[in-house]
Amino acid sequence: MPGSSKIRLDRDEPAGPAAARVLRGLLAVGDANLPGALADADPEFLHDYRVSLRRTRSVQRQLRQLFETGSLERSRGEFKWLQQVTGDARDLDVYLLGFERLRETLPAPVSADLEPLLVVLRERQARAHTTMAQALRSDRAHAARADWEALLDQLDRRPNGARRERAGADRPYREGPIGEISSARIVHVYRRIVRAGKAIAVDSPPEDLHELRKQGKELRYLLELFGAPLRGEQAVAPVIKSLKRLQDVLGRHQDQVVQAGTLHAVAAEVAALPGGAQALQAMDVLTARLADQATLARREFAVAFGELATGKPRRLVKDTFA
Q: What is the pLDDT of residue 174?
A: 67
From the list 4, 152, 147, the residue with the least C-alpha distance to 66 is 152
CA separation for the pair 60, 222 (Å, rounded): 11
Residues lower than pLDDT 50 in the chain: 3-4, 159-171
3-state secondary structure the chain: CCCCCCCCCCCCCEHHHHHHHHHHHHHHHHHHHHHHHHHCCCHHHHHHHHHHHHHHHHHHHHCHHHCCCCCCHHHHHHHHHHHHHCHHHHHHHHHHHCHHHHHCCCCHHHHHHHHHHHHHHHHHHHHHHHHHHHHHCCHHHHHHHHHHHHHHHHHHCCCCCCECCCCCCCCEHHHCEHHHHHHHHHHHHHHHHHHHHHCCCCCCCHHHHHHHHHHHHHHHHHHHHHHHHHHCHHHHHHHHHHHHHHHHHHHHHHHHHHHHHHHHHCHHHHHCCCCHHHHHHHHHHHHHHHHHHHHHHHHHHHHHHHHHHCHHHHHHHHHHHC
Determine whether 107 is exposed, middle or buried from the number of CB atoms within 10 Å of its CB (0-12, 13-18, 19+): exposed
User: Bridge-partner residues for 163, per DSSP?
Assistant: 172
CA separation for the pair 275, 278 (Å, rounded): 6
Cα angle 265, 249, 4 (rounded to 5 degrees) comes to 90
Which domains are seen in the chain, by residue range?
14-157 (1.40.20.10), 178-322 (1.40.20.10)
Q: What is the pLDDT of residue 170?
A: 40
Q: What is the pLDDT of residue 4?
A: 47
pLDDT tens-digit map of 165-217: 443 344 456 678 999 999 999 999 999 999 999 999 988 999 999 999 999 99
